[in-house]
Each structure stands twice: as C-alpha cells, then as structure tokens.
Structure 1
Amino acid sequence: MMQHRNTDPRIGLILFCFFVAGGIVVGRVVYLQFVEGTRLTTLIEQGVQAVIDVQPRRGSIYNNRGQEIALSVLRDSIYARASEVKDPVATARLLAEILDEDDFPTYLRRLRSRKGFVWIKRQISPEESDRLDRFIGDERLAGVERISEYQRVYPHGQLLAHILGFTNIDSTGIEGLERRYDSCLAGKAEQHVVARDARGVKIFREEQIDSIEPTYGCDLVLTIDQEIQYQAEEALRRQVEATDAKGGVAIVADPNTGRILAMANQPAFDPNDFSHFPPESYRNRSITDNYEPGSTFKTILVAAAIEKGIVTPEDRFFCENGRYRFARRTIHDAHPHGELTVSDIIKFSSNIGVTKIAQRLGPEEFFEFIRAFGFGTPTGIDLGAEAQGLLRPQEKWAEIDLATHAFGQGISVTPLQLLMAYCAVANGGKLLRPFVVAEIRDHNGHILEAHYPKVVRRVISERTAQSITKMLEGVVDRRGTGRRAAIPGYRVAGKTGTAQKVEPGGRGYSPTARVASFVGFAPAQTPRLAALVVIDEPQGPQHSKYGGVVAAPVWREIMEMSLRHLGILPTRQEEEAPAKKEPESPQFSGL
C-alpha cells in the first residue's frame, strides 16, 4: 500500500513569492526599457554631457574695390576658475600689471567670486597677450586661463562709421549695416557635445573645438567708393568745424542706378571705441533726421507744374516787388522782383513766384507729385532705422500750406529723400531705390545675392526733366544763388536751400537757426553724379548761414574731386567769375 507524503505548505508559498518577484522584476525591466528608456537615456546624457556653442568668424564688409573695411580678428580673452586661485590678492595685482586697465579692485572682486567661471578681461590687445606670455607658469596665475575669440575691427576708424555701425563685444550688430545684416554676417554657431566631470565642469581639449566647422557668416560688398567717402567726410568736417555748426550731412550717389557712393555725417564717432562717444553721434542723419528743405523743394513744385502743362519755363509771373499777401499772411522775397519767367523764379529763388505757380497747380495736384517724388515714405535703402519724413494728408492742409510747401516749409524730408528726388530729375524722370550693398557672398567668395538698380516709378517725363535741368543750370551761373557750386569745365545743375528751424516745442520758427543746403548733379548734360550737402545750424552773421554760402562750396569741393577721381573729364574750358556777395535770405512774417 502506497504512502502519501504531505507537501509542506511553506514551500509552495516560497515558490509563489519567487514567481511574483520575478514577474515584478521582468515587468520593471520591460517598462524601463521600452516605456521610460528614451527619457532616462536623455537624463543620463545630461548628467555627463554638456553642449557648447562654437561661434564662427563674422563675415567681412568690403568697399566697392574689394578692400576690407570691417573684419573680425582673433584675440585672447582671459578668464579664471575662481575656486582654483590660491592667492586672489597676488593674482589681482599681477593682472593689473599685465593688462592696460590697472583695475586691481575689479580683478580682486571677480577672483573672490563664488562662481566657478569669471571673465577677467575679454579681447585683450596683442601687446597685453605678449605680456601675459611672459608669466606662463607663474603660480600667481594658477586658475587663470585664456581662450581665443573674435573681435570686430574697423581698420579705418571713423571713416564710414555711420554706414557700417558697430557690434557689441559678443559680435552682435548694434548699429548700421552690422545691425541690418546681423543674421547674415553672424553665421550660425555649431553646437558641440562635450563630457562633464562629477562636479559638472566641461572637459574638452582645444583640438576638439578647432576641428568643428560652424556655418561662417556672409560677406558684404558695398557700393561705397572709399576715396569719395573720405573726401566727403573731410570736406564736411572742416565746414562744420569752421562754422561751429550743430552737424551736417553729405551724400554722393550715382543718379542712374541709385548706388550710394558716399554718405558722410557729422558729428562722427569711432566704431572701435564707440562707448567713449555720445550715443547721439551714432545717428546716421542722412536717413534718420527730418528737416525742412527750404528752397530746394521749389524744384519739386515747378517740375509738377511743367509736367501737368500748367506752366512753361518761359511763362512770366509778377512777383509783387518783394511782398505778397496770401492766405492772410505776407510772403517776402530776398530782393524785390517785378516780372520773372519760371526759369528765373528758380534761378533767383523767388518765394512769391513759386507761390503763384502753386496757386495755378492746386493743392491736390501738388500733393500727388510730392508723394510721387518719394516724400512721406521711406526710400527703402538697405540700412534700417530710416525715417519717412513728415507730410500731412492734403485734406488737412491749411490754405497757407500751399504756399509754404512750395518753398519748403511746413514739410519735412530726410536728406536721402531729397537727393533721390533730384536723381529722378538727373536720370530723365525715374525715381530709384537707393542701396549700399551690392553683393552678399559666402566665405569662399561665391555670390549668394546681387543687388541691382530698381525703378520705383516714373515721376516726370524726360522732356520735363530736361527743362528742369536747364533751369537748375541757371542757378549755378554767375548771377544765380548757387554760383559758388560752379566747377570750371563742367556743366552743373543744382539748387540752394536755406530753411528756418522750428523752435523747440513747435512754437514758431527761430529767428536765427538755419539749415543750409545745396543739392545738384553733374555733368548736367549727361549726369554721372548727384550730391547733397546739408549744414545744420551754422553760426555767424545771418548772411553767412545760407545754402549758397555755406553748403555750395562744400558741394563743389566734393563733386569736383569725385568727377576727377572717376575719370569724368571736363567738357568745356572757361573761368568762372569771382563769387559775388550772397543776397540776404527771405523772411516770412507771420509764418
């Protein structure tokens, strides 16, 4: 007879527990592997790895002859691992001897920082780097290291400063082209994964970083002619200083393409050391400042009237012997005139004459042409921060505005807007978009983008443009207000302007403050260059503040040099008569 053994129930319980525990372990493994695997892998990598950005070399900027005018160079930057500095006082004293700024308190404060990483000084000079080399191995520099990074350099100092702008210490564009094309110039940093030790300190060798290939920044090739730019800046600077003026602008352009060849501003600054100049000096007044154009705006009115068939150059107007009542105000001329032709109204800059032409044209037609010539809207130049001028809607004009706008008061323009309007006259009637960047290239020199002349619209016919050009030539002859702009051997067309400045707060016009200007082009028969000079608030006797006196000579100096520089030879041989005394500026009582 068989005997049955009783199984110990504890054994079954143990086996059951093993099976349950095994199931839990297997389940957890499956969960961690397939459900949480990606997240945990990321956490592990974050714990032992770090990502650093390797900045590329910022693209260079070239003038129209291919010479670098803004570039990036490698400079040493000094940092410290403060926790590894054994004697902060001794280290700070040595750094004060090595570096140009003897700033012992600042260095000591940084070395005593609780941070693991502190900058001592970035982008030190080559001379400072040489002095640092002499102390390699000195125990006082334990914990002090250096790395190389790019510093933006402008080799010509103040030259072209308002066009180029500048970057901050991290090579981010702040002003000018540097800001406008920042993303293009900067390129794209390359991210690189490096190991970290248990304390979180990044571990990498310099050869790791050198081997990384970031996306380099693009290069810009400008339309700027550096010789013309230099001459424009120098001529403008001398006149602003000589007249103790508040500031000034000089622009030179190709009227047939819209290419800007020079754009000078005063006051100036050095982009290599911009922090030592007042921020208002950074402003590119050529595109940011609005001013009342004065008599230079008379050309716009007459062009509109001729284009619409309202007047001809030979039509005559009675100029009231210097005093004319209009819209309950009195308009004055500098000298009393009887009858003048339209051509002579421009030549002698008669305010009464243009007022009567404006009455014939009417406010609606006048406003239409003001807009067509580009006023009241930005020119679209590739610089950024461009003002649009001040042009009130025509329906909001008062009756007197028809007259004041005709001689350039009550309306504000930028210097570039006015120059481009005169370029339209010079090229036969087409308003062009101005530009300063001719090409964008990659770091190997391949063209990525090329900029070409762009016609915004036709404003006037070629016939009208020719008629206006002939009138503007009369302004520069021996009896005209612009005779000081005449260049021997060349036919010159241009117009003077002298505008009263509005008092601060808009409380009427200043009795003394003026903006003097001259704008024109040459050679008049086949224009190759157009230029504008504006002098803001020249000081001295009233007769010395007018456009024909203070701005026209600067224009002549810049234009004469530019014509010869470009090989545009004289077409006639004649001596100009000595300049006569400039007539006094008109006064506008009650305006």
Structure 2
Amino acid sequence: MPLALRHMTRSQFLAMLLTGAMVVIVMRLFFLQVIQHEHYVALATEEQVKKLVIPANRGMIYAMDGGTPVPLVMNQQVYTLFADPTVVTDPTHVAQVVRDVAGGNLVVDDIPRALAESKSQKSMYRVLAKNVTLRQAELIKSKELKGIGFQKVSKRVYPEGDMAAQTIGFVNNEGKGQYGVEQQLNDRLTGKDGLLKSVTDVANVPLSIGKDNIREDPKDGDNIVLTIDRNIQAKAQEALMAGLQRSGATHGSVLVMDPNSGKVLALADYPTYSPAEFNKVQDEQVFRNIASTEPYEPGSVLKTFTIATGIDKGVMNAQTTFYNTDKIQVEDRTITNALKGVTGTITMQKALDNSLNTGMVTVAQRLGDGKTINKTARDTIYEYFHNRLGLGERTGIEIANEQKGILISPQDEQGNAVRYSNMAFGQGLNVTMLQVAAGFSAIINGGTYHSPTVIDGTYTNGQLNPEKHSQTRANVISQSASAQAKEMIHNARVGYTKTDTPGYYIGGKTGTSQTLENGQYVDTQTVGTYLGFGGTEAESKYVIMVQVSGKNMNLEGNKHAMPIFTDLSNWLLNYYQLQPKV
C-alpha cells in the first residue's frame, strides 16, 4: 500500500471513494443527458407519442331521380377486430368469445394458432375479424378481453341492390375500388386519411396535452353524382330481362344516352350481380360493363354511318339509285345480301330499309372512283368512322377497363378494299356499343359529337356541383347531312314496324352479325343488335342501343333486340311527357 494511503484516516478514504463515485455519476449523467440527449428523447417519444390514423370517409355514389341525387352507394360504420398477441393472456377464451359473437366475420380459422404465430414474430397487431357490427363489438367489449381492440371502418352498402352494378363496381376487402366507377375514380372517392400524433397513456389513449400533439383532419372522398337516371336504369334492366326471357338469350346489354350531351342515362347488363356480394361471383366477366369493355362486330346498324358519310360527301341521298343484283364483286370476293329479291333499280332509302349490303358497298365505291373502293374511298371512310365519329378509339368514359376495339387504317396492309367493303355494312371491325351510340348520336343530333360520360358532378351539403366531362367536336357532319340521314333512319323504322306510340319521331336500324371463333366466322351463333333514337321532330331525347347474344344461338336484331328497344322507347316517351304530334 502506498505511504499516502497508509496515513489516511478511514473517513478520508471513504470521502475519496464517494468523491470518485460522484465524479463517475456526474460524467455518466452528462453523457446521458447531454451527449445522448436526442437519442433518449427519441426513444421516449416513440414510447409515449403515438401516430393514430383518422380514416377518411369514402365518397358516396348517387344517381339522378329527376333533378334530385339519390344514393346508390352509401357507407355503413363497422369495425375491424384485432388483437395484440403480446398482451392476450388466454387465446382459447378469446377464440371462443370472438367465434360465438362474430363467427361469420372471421378472417382466421384458428385464432390461438394465429396469435401464437404473430407473437413468435413479435407482432403486436393481428386482425381476427372484419365487418363487425356495433352490436357485436359492444358484446365483445363487455367480456373485457385483454389485448383485444377495434378500429372503425366503413363498409359499402347498396340501397338499390344490383342497380347499375357494372357501372358502379365495388370496393374489395382491402378498401380499393374494383371495376366501374369505383375503380376508375378510386383516388377521388378514397379521399385522404388524417393523422393524430399525440402523447398517450399506458392504454394508448391520447392525452390532450403535449407540445408534440399534431392533428391533420381527414379529407373525405368526393360524393360522385352519376348521369344515370334511376328510373330509366330500372326500366332498362326490366326491359332487358323481359326481352331475354322471350328470346332465350343468355347475355344482353342496353345503353341509353342523351344524344345532345353525351350523358349516359342507363347501362344495363345481364348476367349481373349484387355489389354487396361480389365475393360470390364465379365469372369475372360478370363484373364488366359490356357496352364499354367488350368490342364486337355490330353488323348492319353501322349502315347508318355509311349513309351519313355518303350524304355528307355529296355522293348520295335518299332517292339516289343503283342497280341491285343481290351481289357485288370486290376484288376476289363476292358480297351478297341476306335478303334476296329486292332487285333492279332501287333507291338508297330502299337499300337501307331492306338492309342491303350491296347498297352500302355501292356508297363506298362512290366515295372513290365510283367503281372500286380505292385509296380515296378508304381514307374517307376512315376519316368519318374513326376520326369524326370515334369508332375504334376509347371514348374516355369514367368506367374502368374501357377497350378501344379494332378499326384497321387504310395505311395498314389489311386495310384493303375487301376489308372496307365489309366495314361499310358493319363487319371487319370490332367496336364497342358505347362508341357506336356516341357516333350515332352525332349523326342524328345535327352533327356534333359528344364524348360519353357517366359523371354529372359532385354532391356537397345538399348541393349538386356540375362537372363538365364531355368533349365535343362540332360539324363532324353538316346539319343538312344529319337531317337527311335522320329522316332515312326514321323511314327505315316506320316502314318496318307499327309498334311505336303514335305521334312521335322514332328511327332505328337492326343489326345481325356473325361471331368469330379461332379467327373464323361460325354459322351457329349470331349477335342481335338494335340502334335507334326517339323524341319529337324538333328534338331527339334519347338514343337506345340493345345487344343480345347466347352460346350457339342465332339471334337477330329485328326479332330479338328490337322489341327491347320498342318497350323502352315507348316508356321513355311517357316518362319525358313529350307532346305527340296531332
């Protein structure tokens, strides 16, 4: 022992030890409180300050009932039941209570096992059930189970059942929009969640004090108002079902549009489904809106496009004649008429009335040199069909998964005379009902193309806020050509049927088209289509397009699609309370 220590008293030695210990403590405190201050503040904040998400409400979806928005899609408050596996003390008891009260809403089959797995992974959050009602949540809470919590969420409910199901779409279990408007406008409907960053107590209950408190209020999603008219939609679905039952067809679609604005008033499809039970659907195709997502060969309804082009280019009118032999040669192909015997010198009006392919091919030839469907003729048809009237291009409709179809350009090797002769009577191209109805609307409304829309605006505080979505192209055909084409289409209908309510101005065209299988036309299956308009001589109020089909079924536009048009058209005349011509 050093000499200095041998001469120290015991009290002096203890004093030196205490002084040394204090120096160590002071240095340690300095290290903790000064050097590592920020580190420990961060740890404390992480433990005491919690970030709590404040969910935004998903926007509702409305249809129109006259001038009043009515809800098609609403939100119901439900709960997600979760557990903190590190806190649960009796997994078996928890499983029994949750299964007894909310068994139909479970997302895990074996709760004790699921909790054990999550605990081994050091997870503090495991969802046990979804869509738990308030009553169920209260019953479970009354059991005072440790480690069990609830989070408020919204569930979509549908007060009108399956109305406009393919237009609306649905919200999946992850809260994301699928198909229809729900998918296309998902970001707008979802809104933005808020955030509550707050000091909490040991039970994670936010306290009202603390300089670190932050609150960002949620921004609810937009309440979207559709252009769909609730009453027209209901009648369209009813008329479609009745027509399919009469014909035995297994698939069908009805589209109703305002030709003067592009607003879609009804979209009815069959087969259909209930958005509230989307998880029961076996065939994904049932979710799709036929009018916008399934291109097909529309057949003779496109003869209205050919006559409108011919009139606008000045190569024909209703009384222009040609010599019909029931067949016409285009390069190495012989094109014939479905209806034989209307031969000799006949007018273009008669060609449209009887849906003669030879008449439409003759118009196509006259758009060129009068003898062949040359490059000039093909360029003209493409200009009108595609560039002006929108065939073969997406319309921009606010429904997910819209398809563009196929309309071959004259610049393409396949865009030859034979292809364009077929296009003149509605074959050799794939287009959607929506494209055809929008182009047809321009033909009969005076020559203005309106891109279709299903969005009328938003609904806030009881106020409809209109939005402009439809794009317009004026003078796609002249007003004179529109008036002449419309009169021809009117005469084609009144000369064919007497089923319309008297005193109104109705027109339409049938279409029956073959279908392709493995690139070949089949004789055992056809699609029936009808396309027409209705209203008064002063103004057409609606355009209706109907399509019916079935596996290995030969369906015709006049027999199977037109009666659906007639049923809905006569109802619309009454619905709009239009005054008949005396």
- TM-score when normalising by structure 1: 0.82
Looking at structure 2, the residues matched to 441 and 130 of structure 1 have their Cα atoms a distance apart, in angstroms, of: 31
Displacement of 1:247 in angstroms is 2.0
Counterpart in the other structure of 2:576? 566
Displacement of 1:491 in angstroms is 2.2
Counterpart in the other structure of 1:236? 240
Name which of 537, 547, 558 aligns with 1:534.
547
Structure 1 counterpart of 2:126, one-letter code:
V
Displacement of 1:492 in angstroms is 0.8
Looking at structure 2, the residues matched to 566 and 242 of structure 1 have their Cα atoms a distance apart, in angstroms, of: 27
Structure 2 counterpart of 1:52, one-letter code:
L
**How many residues are paired up?**
532
SS at match of 2:540: coil
Looking at structure 1, the residues matched to 69 and 472 of structure 2 have their Cα atoms a distance apart, in angstroms, of: 26
Counterpart in the other structure of 1:335? 340
Displacement of 1:282 in angstroms is 0.7
SS at match of 2:220: coil
Counterpart in the other structure of 2:409? 393
1:459 aligns with 2:459: no
Counterpart in the other structure of 1:476? 493
Displacement of 1:494 in angstroms is 0.9
Displacement of 1:82 in angstroms is 3.0
Displacement of 1:45 in angstroms is 2.6
SS at match of 2:396: coil
Looking at structure 1, the residues matched to 189 and 129 of structure 2 have their Cα atoms a distance apart, in angstroms, of: 25
Counterpart in the other structure of 1:5? none
The answer to whether the Cα contact below 8 Å between 1:484 and 1:553 also exists between their aligned partners in 2 is no
Name which of 184, 192, 197 aligns with 1:180.
184
Displacement of 1:399 in angstroms is 2.4
* Residue 431 to residue 291, structure 1, CA distance change in 2 (3 Å): same
Counterpart in the other structure of 1:89? 92
* Residue 524 to residue 300, structure 1, CA distance change in 2 (3 Å): farther
Structure 1 counterpart of 2:83, one-letter code:
A
Counterpart in the other structure of 2:380? 365
Looking at structure 2, the residues matched to 432 and 130 of structure 1 have their Cα atoms a distance apart, in angstroms, of: 50
Counterpart in the other structure of 1:305? 310
Structure 2 counterparts to residues 278-293 of structure 1, below 5 A:
278-293=283-298
1:63 aligns with 2:71: no
Name which of 509, 513, 536 aligns with 1:495.
509
Displacement of 1:379 in angstroms is 1.4
The answer to whether the Cα contact below 8 Å between 1:484 and 1:556 also exists between their aligned partners in 2 is no
SS at match of 1:382: coil
SS at match of 2:309: helix
The answer to whether the Cα contact below 8 Å between 1:497 and 1:516 also exists between their aligned partners in 2 is yes
* Residue 175 to residue 356, structure 1, CA distance change in 2 (3 Å): same
Looking at structure 1, the residues matched to 428 and 323 of structure 2 have their Cα atoms a distance apart, in angstroms, of: 24
The answer to whether the Cα contact below 8 Å between 2:77 and 2:152 also exists between their aligned partners in 1 is yes
Looking at structure 1, the residues matched to 304 and 34 of structure 2 have their Cα atoms a distance apart, in angstroms, of: 82
Displacement of 1:546 in angstroms is 0.8
Counterpart in the other structure of 1:513? 525
Displacement of 1:266 in angstroms is 1.8
- TM-score when normalising by structure 2: 0.84
Structure 2 counterpart of 1:496, one-letter code:
T
Counterpart in the other structure of 1:587? none
Displacement of 1:171 in angstroms is 2.8
Looking at structure 2, the residues matched to 89 and 39 of structure 1 have their Cα atoms a distance apart, in angstroms, of: 40
1:274 aligns with 2:278: yes
Counterpart in the other structure of 1:110? 114
Displacement of 1:412 in angstroms is 1.1
* Residue 135 to residue 462, structure 1, CA distance change in 2 (3 Å): closer
Structure 2 counterpart of 1:299, one-letter code:
T
The answer to whether the Cα contact below 8 Å between 1:59 and 1:219 also exists between their aligned partners in 2 is yes
Displacement of 1:147 in angstroms is 3.3
Displacement of 1:474 in angstroms is 1.8
Displacement of 1:528 in angstroms is 0.8
Displacement of 1:367 in angstroms is 1.5
Structure 1 counterpart of 2:543, one-letter code:
A
Looking at structure 2, the residues matched to 100 and 562 of structure 1 have their Cα atoms a distance apart, in angstroms, of: 48
The answer to whether the Cα contact below 8 Å between 1:469 and 1:524 also exists between their aligned partners in 2 is no
Structure 2 counterparts to residues 197-212 of structure 1, below 5 A:
203-205=204-206
Looking at structure 1, the residues matched to 525 and 110 of structure 2 have their Cα atoms a distance apart, in angstroms, of: 47
Displacement of 1:537 in angstroms is 3.1
Counterpart in the other structure of 1:589? none
Looking at structure 2, the residues matched to 111 and 367 of structure 1 have their Cα atoms a distance apart, in angstroms, of: 64
**Deviating more after overlay: 336-345 vs 89-98:** 89-98
Counterpart in the other structure of 1:419? 437
Counterpart in the other structure of 2:131? 123
SS at match of 1:331: strand
Name which of 98, 102, 105 aligns with 1:99.
102
Looking at structure 2, the residues matched to 477 and 56 of structure 1 have their Cα atoms a distance apart, in angstroms, of: 55
Looking at structure 2, the residues matched to 288 and 306 of structure 1 have their Cα atoms a distance apart, in angstroms, of: 31
Looking at structure 1, the residues matched to 94 and 147 of structure 2 have their Cα atoms a distance apart, in angstroms, of: 10
Counterpart in the other structure of 2:6? none
The answer to whether the Cα contact below 8 Å between 1:62 and 1:68 also exists between their aligned partners in 2 is yes
The answer to whether the Cα contact below 8 Å between 1:245 and 1:539 also exists between their aligned partners in 2 is no
Looking at structure 2, the residues matched to 136 and 218 of structure 1 have their Cα atoms a distance apart, in angstroms, of: 34
The answer to whether the Cα contact below 8 Å between 2:494 and 2:507 also exists between their aligned partners in 1 is no
1:73 aligns with 2:76: yes
Looking at structure 1, the residues matched to 42 and 92 of structure 2 have their Cα atoms a distance apart, in angstroms, of: 43
Counterpart in the other structure of 1:588? none
* Residue 477 to residue 81, structure 1, CA distance change in 2 (3 Å): same
Displacement of 1:217 in angstroms is 1.7
Counterpart in the other structure of 1:581? none
1:353 aligns with 2:366: no
Alpha-carbon RMSD across the aligned residues, in angstroms, is 3.2
1:553 aligns with 2:563: yes
Looking at structure 2, the residues matched to 485 and 533 of structure 1 have their Cα atoms a distance apart, in angstroms, of: 17
* Residue 300 to residue 32, structure 1, CA distance change in 2 (3 Å): farther
**Deviating more after overlay: 389-398 vs 447-456:** 447-456
SS at match of 1:458: coil
* Residue 352 to residue 206, structure 1, CA distance change in 2 (3 Å): farther
The answer to whether the Cα contact below 8 Å between 2:490 and 2:507 also exists between their aligned partners in 1 is yes
Tell me, which stretches of 5 or more residues in structure 2 are unaligned? 1-19, 368-376
Displacement of 1:527 in angstroms is 0.4
* Residue 111 to residue 571, structure 1, CA distance change in 2 (3 Å): farther
Displacement of 1:316 in angstroms is 0.7
Looking at structure 2, the residues matched to 151 and 207 of structure 1 have their Cα atoms a distance apart, in angstroms, of: 30
* Residue 330 to residue 537, structure 1, CA distance change in 2 (3 Å): farther
The answer to whether the Cα contact below 8 Å between 2:199 and 2:207 also exists between their aligned partners in 1 is no
Displacement of 1:441 in angstroms is 4.2
Counterpart in the other structure of 2:7? none
* Residue 40 to residue 142, structure 1, CA distance change in 2 (3 Å): closer
* Residue 537 to residue 529, structure 1, CA distance change in 2 (3 Å): same
Counterpart in the other structure of 2:12? none
